[in-house]
Amino acid sequence: MSAVRALLLENLHPDAVTNLEQAGYEVITRTGALDEDELIDALAGVALLGIRSKTTVTARAIASSPDLIAIGAFCIGTNQIDLAAAAHHGVAVFNAPFSNTRSVVEITISEIIALTRRLTEFDRSMHEGVWNKSAIGAHEVRGRTLGIIGYGNIGTQLSVLAENLGMSVIFYDTAEKLALGNARRASTMDELLESADIVTLHVDGRPGNAAMFGAKQIARMRPGAILLNLSRGFVVDPGALSEAIISKHLSGAAIDVFPAEPKRKGDPFESELRGLPNVILTPHTGGSTEEAQEAIGNFVSHKMRDYLRTGTTTLSVNLPNLALDQAPGVHRLAYLHRNTPGVLAAVNATLAEHGVNIEGQLLATRGEIGYVVTDAGGPVEHAVVEALRARPESVRLRLLS
């Protein structure tokens, strides 16, 4: 039997390679992202795919890759993956929702301080040989109001650290969230924009957040305010932000993500925000610290490995979640199926017909997909596997021994 093959793109941490190789898998690495056709070609015979944010995994790519079992997004976002198509074809998707939270929070805090003190301007003058000592336009962050749009894992941790620096915090989120410390929830985004000296965006990649922050929202911000975006590139209109900086309506900005980003390190970067005063531009490195990338590399690769070995789907973003242990000598059937009535009864009837004794069984559903995991006390005949795969509701069946 040939080894399971894994394809890892976009310079993932070496620990991801090591973990998968130690599990006995053949690992292929590539430094950059792939377009759709390149990805389809590269996925021939591949069971595990690891990517970051630059590779888009389309429905066509998934449908063209019958050997694909799991996709690991070695980042927070999964909007670059067609999650519904992956579920429809029985492909589990895992990400790293917590591993780089601290890194993003720390760069946000550092940029808030740098922009409020206008360190970018002083740094540029000094490199140009100009001594421009002045307190004009430079402020402490203590006593200023930070507005956080998106109060999830990053937003809440940022909220706590900002308060420790003496800032007041106001936040806005479309979901009901518990305020930490003395943070105050804004009833509308406009209320936050009119109250905050600094606005920072930490929203997710859902389609509804596209173009959510444009000229109208920027106009609502206080004169001299600062805007930061370390969430998704399609959230902020860079042209509107450029106009606000040039007109001095905003005194600064920090942007880490962009509507169109180069695929590979060293590729040219163009933006209307280049060269503007007191604007920090970083190449999508908000979560790119050595500590975060190591944590992500380990977390996601272990999730992929565990899914292949035991069928565990804990923290999968597109399949029903089941946390599973596997006892020695147990033969496991991991059965993904369309969520229709009577599946469990049909599975058990099929097993009974073939004399399979059930040691344990779990069922979970998520939208249109159901997941039945059955542990048998003895070997499962090939006829059982074929009978279940032939059922009309079948999506994917794996026999794990």
Residues with a catalytic annotation lie at: 232, 261, 284
Structure tokens given for 222: 């206080």
SS3 199: strand
How many Å apart are CA 70 and CA 228, to the nearest integer?
A: 34
How many Å apart are CA 276 and CA 281, to the nearest integer?
A: 10
Structure tokens given for 328: 């020695």
SS3 39: helix
Element (H, E) at 334: strand 331-338
Does residue 16 contact residue 297 with C-beta atoms inside 8 Å?
yes
3-state helix, strand, coil in the chain (%, to 5): 30, 20, 45
How many Å apart are CA 390 and CA 381, to the nearest integer?
A: 15
How many Å apart are CA 149 and CA 203, to the nearest integer?
A: 7
Tell me the H-state helices in 165-253.
189-195, 215-220, 238-246
